Amino acid sequence: MNIFIAITALLGAYSTYFLAHHNRFDGIRASAATSIIAFAILSLFPVDVELYSVAFFGGTFIGMSAPKRFGIFTLAIASLLFALLFEYLVPRLHGYGGALGLSAFLSVCVCHIGILLGAPRSKKNN
């Protein structure tokens, strides 16, 4: 697993997760704002901007779905699982779009099913 893709996905998930808890931001606005900022920052560095900005955007998918379901630890597990699936699926699917959505969906589903089956939660029930 590429550690930089994993870190980028983690940053995307956590930034969206925390920004979505703000009064003026919902999950979609938080995802859009953080993705634009991440793209601007990544374009300043000599890296594959397209790959890392897509990985960040995929991480924001995790953060958008997580505020009501996941806590901090589960968010990290879902993000790392996303990075692993994303790297595996990008060469097999044509383009980033399919790998992005499928990886995010599967990682959230696996973590949510794990919680339903009794895995420990990082967020207390209210």
* 79 within 8 A of 31, measured Cβ to Cβ: no
Question: Does residue 125 form part of some domain?
Answer: no
Render pLDDT for 16-28 as a digit per residue (tens, 0 to 9).
Answer: 999 988 778 888 8
Taking alpha carbons only, the member of 120, 91, 121 closest to residue 103 is: 91
For residue 84, give its domain range.
3-116
Question: Does residue 21 form part of some domain?
Answer: yes
Question: Does residue 79 form part of some domain?
Answer: yes
Question: Does residue 80 form part of some domain?
Answer: yes
Question: Does residue 50 form part of some domain?
Answer: yes
Say how many domains are in the chain: 1
Residue 57, pLDDT > 80, answer: yes
Question: Does residue 126 form part of some domain?
Answer: no
Question: Does residue 73 form part of some domain?
Answer: yes
Q: Higher model confidence: residue 54 or residue 120? A: 54
Q: What is the mean pLDDT of residues 114-118?
A: 85
